[in-house]
Amino acid sequence: MALPVVKAIEDCSNITKTVLPYLPQLYDLPQQILQSYSNPTELRNLYLATNPLVSAFAFSLALAPIFLLVSEVNKNYSQVDRCWSILPTIYNAHFTAYAHLSGLPTQRLDNLLAFSVLWSLRLTFNYWRKGGYSIGSEDYRWAILREKIPPSLFFVFNVAFISLAQSVLLFLVATPSYVILLAARKGVPWSLADTIFSRGLITLVVIEYFADQQQWDYQNAKQQYLKTAKVQGKYDQESLDRGFVTSGLWSLSRHPNFAAEQAIWVVLYVWGCWTSDVVYNWTFIGAMSYLILFQSSTWFTESISAKKYPDYKEYQQRVGKFLPNIIPTSGAKIEAAKKEAAADKLNKKKVSSGK
């Protein structure tokens, strides 16, 4: 059977019953696909005969060598970045489609997929308008890393992390959908909690949208200011000279979009736990890995920003990284950061005048 037999709702979260017994299907799946790819009926039967978690995992593994090849040929390491906003929704759509084809109740999965599509549309649009899909476009952080890491080690980094680990991660964050799919077999009815989870996820997407838009408006105003030396719109000269946005949601969090993004996958994980009536389950691997990635990525990004913008260290002291500061930063620390920023500005002016 493609789906495990679960006697109790808690079994839906049991990795030894719902995951490990089906991993051997990975070995035969490539050959089975080759034998069936020209016959739609056989492909459909193979799709339904394969555990949906296994087929999704296999897809994430199959993408890794493609990402690797394209990135090395083009020397552009943002190939996974271009698919980041799409792959989790593909996996969520896969679990939803499997449930529909298997005749299972799909209310939770349908609502989950609706959120996921909105999430993809928001992130894809924002990535597109920043030029992410333009030919040659690459995340500036990869270029900085290439300068710090020898080519041979960077290739290993590309194989292990950029192409493989990130591809698998985008599968892992969607694994709570598998738990929800299994719970559907037990006929767990829709509840108020499900409404809260589904609407909460959409609310987080809305927060991301406003955070993105506020940053977009600021960056456009800054670019116009740099071109024309004229202050236009709602920003004053001081805020534009600062170089980074600090108003709106960005006055409460240094990364409100990142905060909402991390919360999304934590909420989805908790939804899966709630549906299967457990406190925690194995799908925490996806949410936890996502949090670790964002923590390290944000640290790296801020280290660059602190060097680029003299006022950024003062901003770090005043505003929380992801959540608002509950305990206000002491005035002494803020003043020290301001003095450091003033010294950095003076040094930059000296360097500039020296040129």
Q: Are residues 319 and 254 in contact, defined by beta-carbon separation less than 8 angstroms?
A: yes
User: CA 87 to CA 76: how far, in whole Å?
Assistant: 19
Q: Which ranges of the chain does DSSP label H, i.e. alpha helix?
A: 15-18, 25-36, 40-49, 52-74, 79-83, 87-101, 107-129, 140-148, 151-157, 166-172, 176-184, 192-228, 237-242, 256-275, 284-308, 312-318, 331-354
Backbone angles phi, psi at 206, to 5 degrees: -65, -40
Quote the pLDDT of residue 176. 98
Quote the pLDDT of residue 288. 97
Quote the pLDDT of residue 66. 98
- Give every CB contact of residue 56 below 8 A, 6+ residues apart in sequence: 91, 94, 95, 171, 174, 178
Nearest residue to 254 (alpha-carbon basis) of 220, 286, 214: 214
pTM of the model: 0.91
Q: 10-residue block means of pLDDT along the chain (355 residues)?
A: 89 96 95 92 95 98 98 95 97 97 96 98 96 92 92 96 97 98 92 97 98 96 91 88 95 96 98 96 97 95 92 93 81 60 57 53
Quote the pLDDT of residue 229. 87
pLDDT tens for each residue of 5-35: 889 999 999 999 999 999 999 999 999 999 9
Q: Domain ranges for the chain, please list them.
A: 1-187
User: CA 309 to CA 241: how far, in whole Å?
Assistant: 10
Q: Encoding tokens for residue 276?
A: 């299967």
User: CA 209 to CA 207: how far, in whole Å?
Assistant: 5
Quote the pLDDT of residue 329. 63
Q: Are residues 182 and 4 in contact, defined by beta-carbon separation less than 8 angstroms?
A: yes
pLDDT tens for each residue of 123-157: 999 999 999 999 999 999 999 999 999 999 999 99
Q: Are residues 52 and 178 in contact, defined by beta-carbon separation less than 8 angstroms?
A: yes
Quote the pLDDT of residue 260. 97
Quote the pLDDT of residue 233. 77
